[in-house]
Amino acid sequence: MNVKNDTNAYWQANVRLILISLAIWALVSFGFGIILRPVLAGIAVGGTDLGFWFAQQGSIIVFLGLIFFYAWRMNKLDKEHGVDEE
């Protein structure tokens, strides 16, 4: 029964991490790039407005950052639960 609790805790942490990452990704790509673009239009970044920057480059940079964060956090989570590859 203890192994089942450990497995459930591992998967709950994994799913929580995935949902948080997806929420950040949706906020940045859809929220900042599309919905909030008119609000962000007055802020200049690199010769263009912040809404356009998020739609073109910002969402990609955040997405790549989320990939590295997820890999780092999952390695840490694997070690905590004893399922790492080392």
Q: Which residue has the higher pLDDT, 58 or 13?
A: 13
- pLDDT by residue (tens digit) across 64-79? 999 999 999 999 999 9
Per-residue confidence (pLDDT) for residue 50, from 0 to 100: 86
CA distance 57 to 54: 6
User: In the chain, where are the structural domains located?
Assistant: 2-81
71-75: long-range contacts, CB 8 A cutoff, minimum separation 24: 73/17, 74/14, 74/17
- pLDDT by residue (tens digit) across 2-53? 667 778 989 999 999 999 999 999 998 888 888 888 888 888 888 888 888 8
